[in-house]
Structure 1
Amino acid sequence: MSASFSKSITLKKDFKIQDDEFLQLRDFIYKQSGIYIGDNRKYLLENRLANRLKEHNLKSFGEYFYFLRYDVNRKIELNKLFEVITTNETSFFRNPPQIKVFQDIILKELIQTKRSKAQKYMHIWSAGCSTGEEPYTMSIVLHELLGSELPLWRIRITANDLSQSVLAAARRGIYSQYALRTTPPEIVRKYFNEEKPGRFVVQDSVKQLVDFGQINLSDRFQLKKVPRSDIVFCRNVVIYFDDEMKKNVINSFYDNLLPGGYLFIGHSESLHNISRAFRPIHHPGALVYLKEG
């Protein structure tokens, strides 16, 4: 048995979350972030927070809850908490059928419409951007579509996440081969510099279109500060929310979108029973939601 595996077993034995502790932490997390952890996922908190208890030499989850409420370092720890309770599994050009619809249909139509109106500006919002693969993918797609015309446009991609650590990684823009597993090889050669084998850095031209910042999707005041968008991406994020929170977030996206704007959510997600405000548009391999007007 490896030392690391043995250590993880010890942690699970040492730190058992009691029912009242689970309820305290579950409600605290919901209030702070809108992320809802169901009763059947008690093990998730126990497993993911064990190392946080060890880090601060705490003896119980009750002590950890007290730490989050009252310690002078509670704001720093809150970011650590967000980091461990969310999953940041992503990649460049994730779900290629969706990206193809974004590039070949939605974005091309949007560019043509704006050209016809002499409105060469665009805003796209990546809400839940994780370590940056999604907004950088959007930037690359825009470079591909606009080419030498790009400098004539005013384009911003606002990329937000709850976790400060993943945002820091996104700003660095350094990725492994695994993060590029769904990226066409010619795109890798064109928009990344391979510093050393298996270590790829996004080129500055791609970074320049993207603004990263922390946001809490449960905070309506923060959401209202995001510029009005032509397209909103929020993929595999609302799965963490309960029904009330889902409705609030989707309504905020609707309010943020300009008339004729589009919302992309995860390919396995749906707005069914969440919102009837959007018109679903079916494309081969992808479903997008239109704000009519």
Structure 2
Amino acid sequence: MMNLFSKSITLRKDLKIGDEEFVQLRDFIYGQSGIFIGDNRKYLLENRLANRLKENNLKSFGEYYYFLRYDPGRKAELNKLFEVITTNETSFFRNPPQIKVFQDVVLKKILQEKRTKSQRNLHIWSAGCSTGEEPYTLSIVLHEVLKNELEQWRIRITANDLSAGVLAAAKRAVYSQYSLRTTPPEITKRYFAEESPGRFILQDRVKRLVEFGQINLSDRFQLKRVPRSDVVFCRNVIIYFDDEMKKNVISSFYDNLLPGGYLLIGHSESLHNISRAFRPIHHPGAIVYLKEG
């Protein structure tokens, strides 16, 4: 759900990033997160980090780089860095055709197969969950599909993101009308309480299925600790990675998925030239990727 550099921040005109400073910070960010910032985005990196320099009373981007590398407070600042270089543009029921395919095709098939095997466990991984709209949408879909049968299932939705700040917001589960702009009105009425005009609180029954945690998709050891999944959602995230990072992440998703599991990525993203391990299945308005086995 990441949307890199989509917020505008007022740039302090006295701060300019030199070529060497840009390379240092770009390589550092890539090493820490896998996010690659091209040379054509130099001014955006400069714009985005100016306020972090001001906050830490630093005079140059070179000082900020050394702060990130060596200062005792670097861990907390790293979280702030992740927050400013990734902006989270998302909503409930984003890309409705894809959610419909998940509900009517993918989920239906998985549930039928599990019932046939007398299994009642389901694990979904939302990798890059932002402020929670995606995993909570999946929880709502499960409530809609399973209804009273839900209590008979052991269901867990693991929701991860790079930014500690967005995870904190996700756990609060308080949303504006803008977050619900793509949500059917009857769903809003059924699963949210309007605390005040334009302020909506998600019901606890939806929240109970979701477990949040910070994760760095560039760290394969962290990814290996995620429970094996029936479905992986990673939408609008890998678009910000270079080809090597994309291949590593998709390979980790493949390893995580159970045989017969599905990967869903953003509608503007593709596994073309990244992985041939999955079988793409085309549906109206969406492509899902099947791990055969």
TM-score class, shorter-chain normalisation, is: over 0.9
Pairing of 1:58-97 with structure 2 (within 5 A): 58-97=58-97
Corresponding residue for 2:5? none
Corresponding residue for 1:223? 223
Corresponding residue for 1:256? 256
**Amino acid corresponding to residue 268 of structure 1 in structure 2:** S
**Amino acid corresponding to residue 117 of structure 2 in structure 1:** K
The TM-score, its normalising length taken from structure 2, stands at 0.96
CA distance in 1, matches of 2:15, 2:202: 41
Corresponding residue for 2:43? 43
Corresponding residue for 1:33? 33
Corresponding residue for 1:3? none
**Amino acid corresponding to residue 289 of structure 2 in structure 1:** Y
CA distance in 2, matches of 1:109, 1:201: 31
**1:237-260 Cα shifts (integer Å, max 9, x gaps):** 001110000000000000000000
1:289 and 2:286 correspond: no
Q: Which runs of 4+ in 1 moved over 4 A?
A: none
Corresponding residue for 1:270? 270
User: What secondary structure does 2:244 align onto?
Assistant: helix
CA distance in 2, matches of 1:239, 1:45: 17
CA distance in 1, matches of 2:199, 2:277: 43
The TM-score, its normalising length taken from structure 1, stands at 0.96
1:8 and 2:7 correspond: no
User: What secondary structure does 1:49 align onto?
Assistant: helix
Q: How many residues align?
A: 285
CA distance in 2, matches of 1:8, 1:237: 26
**1:80-119 Cα shifts (integer Å, max 9, x gaps):** 0000001200000000000000001110111111111110
1:163 and 2:163 correspond: yes
Deviation at residue 8 of structure 1 after TM alignment: 2.2
Structure 2 segments unaligned to the other structure (5+ residues) = 1-8
Deviation at residue 174 of structure 1 after TM alignment: 0.4
Corresponding residue for 1:4? none
CA distance in 2, matches of 1:283, 1:14: 52
Larger relative CO (CA 8 A, sep 6+): 1 or 2? 2
More helix by share: 1
**Root mean square deviation, CA, Å:** 0.8
**1:1-60 Cα shifts (integer Å, max 9, x gaps):** xxxxxx925x1x111000000000000001111111011110121010000001011110
User: What secondary structure does 1:255 align onto?
Assistant: helix
User: What secondary structure does 1:217 align onto?
Assistant: coil
User: What secondary structure does 1:195 align onto?
Assistant: strand
CA distance in 2, matches of 1:273, 1:156: 32
User: What secondary structure does 1:8 align onto?
Assistant: coil
**Amino acid corresponding to residue 252 of structure 1 in structure 2:** S
Corresponding residue for 2:6? none
Corresponding residue for 1:149? 149
User: What secondary structure does 2:183 align onto?
Assistant: coil
Structure 1 segments unaligned to the other structure (5+ residues) = 1-6
1:113 and 2:116 correspond: no
CA distance in 1, matches of 2:206, 2:10: 40
CA distance in 1, matches of 2:81, 2:189: 37
Q: Which deviates the most, 33-42 or 159-168?
A: 33-42
Q: Percent identity?
A: 81
Corresponding residue for 1:135? 135
Corresponding residue for 1:125? 125
User: What secondary structure does 1:125 align onto?
Assistant: strand
